[in-house]
Amino acid sequence: MKVLHVIETLDFGGAEKVLVDLVEATRGPMSPAVCCVKRSGELAARLHPSVPVIELGKGEGNDWRLPWRLAEIAREGGFGVMHSHMWGVYLEAALAARLAGVPLIHTVHGSYMAYPSGAAARFKMTLRHALERRAAVWHRRVVAVSDAIQRFLVDELGFDARRVETIHNGIDSRLPEVPKRQGNTFITVGRLAAVKNQAMMLRAFAAVRHGWPQARLNIIGDGPERASLEALAARLGVASCVQFMGFRDDVAEHLAQADVFLMSSHYEGISIAVLEAMRSGLPVIGTRVGGMPETVDHGRTGWLVDDNDEAGFAQAMRDALADPTRSAAAGSAGRQRQQREFSLDETARRYLRLYAQGGA
């Protein structure tokens, strides 16, 4: 069966990494292709050369020519299933699948897109939600990557609960375990954007470093907040012990050299960065938002604090440094949890079942 994945881009990001891993894990039983409605992006290079990548060059905003272009691609390519990813392509992909007469599976990777305040924006959001509920009737399955997102789809957006199921993200579990040093290096991986709230993380780190001058923080990722975060680190007096590393292809190597993983987001689904940290045997300190409580077992594989709880976040960091034996045990338990509950093999198996059933 040929499966057409539809996404805006393959720029560096969690959902995009999930798609690439899923394509690679199902290549063989299925014949996948990826359609990027805007542009491909750097993650396209991680796909096997046999996987076609189609770019449509769409600009910002809605383009109502797009459903007909996607439908044409699906028909001419003989695709048996269309699999769309993220809210930005949902309505267009749903209409395209209906026009082409192929089943659609849609995966919701995160929270709903932000709308500005005001009556016009509220009307647009209400209209879009209504269209999405209508589109969901056309196909059989919407996949949420966490139970929290599944509840949001049903309780907040009004999707039919019978059409929504959770399939947790998974990653390749075959990375060899690396004995952890009992050092003082914190690490985080993610886009430098407001939703990730790295500013709170930096303030908490600065508070911790007063008592632990040997502590270090490595920040892997880039984004619109980088300049302001670098300026904040300078104002807090921690610029010399905070390393902004940009996007990296060797994340696993840096995780292996760190001691504790940090995730300070206002919202997360099932974070691939957190799963990769767990696979590396790192305890995780994060915020109790979205799918984080489904990923991190508080007190066993790490520590969770309330959203934007700077004091609680700093205290969890101190606790991790103060008891390295407990931190190492939490990291080991997290690795076991990732391998047991968040493996790529299990994620791929569940999607293959949906593909074979035509999204039923």
Task: Taking each helix axis as running N to C, give the angle between helix 66-76 and helix 90-100, from 0 to 180 degrees, rounded to the nearest 10.
Answer: 50
pLDDT at res. 149:
92
Residue 318 has pLDDT above 60, yes or no: yes
Which of 92-106, 121-135, 208-222 bottoms out in mean pLDDT, i.e. has the lowest? 121-135
Asked if residues 131 and 91 have their Cβ atoms less than 8 Å apart, the reply is yes
pLDDT at res. 14:
85
| Strand intervals (E) in the chain | 2-7, 31-36, 53-55, 81-85, 104-108, 141-144, 164-166, 185-189, 216-220, 242-246, 260-263, 284-287, 302-305
Query: Residue 221 has which token pair?
Result: 């990722």
pLDDT at res. 178:
65
Top pLDDT among 123 and 248 is at 248
Phi and psi angles of residue 246, each rounded to the nearest 5 degrees, phi first = 70, -175
pLDDT band at 106; cut points 50, 70, 90: very high
DSSP classification of residue 332: H
Nearest residue to 278 (alpha-carbon basis) of 149, 148, 171, 145: 171
pLDDT tens column, 129-156: 777 777 777 777 899 999 999 998 899 8
Residue 103 has pLDDT above 90, yes or no: yes
Residue 29 Cα distances to 24, 32, 51, 259, angstroms: 10, 9, 13, 38
pLDDT at res. 114:
62
User: Which strands, in side-by-side order, build the sheet including 104-108?
Assistant: 53-55, 31-36, 2-7, 81-85, 104-108, 141-144, 164-166
pLDDT band at 20; cut points 50, 70, 90: very high
Residue 55 Cα distances to 10, 23, 37, 89, 320, angstroms: 10, 17, 6, 14, 45
To the nearest whole number, what is the mean pLDDT of the chain?
A: 91
pLDDT at res. 131:
76
**143 CB-near residues (< 8 Å, 6+ apart):** 105, 106, 107, 108, 164, 165, 166, 167, 351, 354
Q: How do beta strands 2-7 and 141-144 pair? A: unpaired
For residues 157-185, average pLDDT: 83
Query: Residue 352 has which token pair?
Result: 């293959």
| Tally of helices (H runs) and strands (E runs) in the chain | 13, 13
Residue 122 has pLDDT above 80, yes or no: no
- Cα 274 to Cα 263: distance, rounded to the nearest angstrom: 8
Asked if residues 168 and 270 have their Cβ atoms less than 8 Å apart, the reply is yes
pLDDT at res. 40:
93
pLDDT at res. 141:
85
Report the percentage of the chain scoring pLDDT > 90.
Answer: 76
pLDDT at res. 180:
61
DSSP classification of residue 171: B
Query: Residue 106 has which token pair?
Result: 């849609």
For residues 176-200, average pLDDT: 86
pTM: 0.85
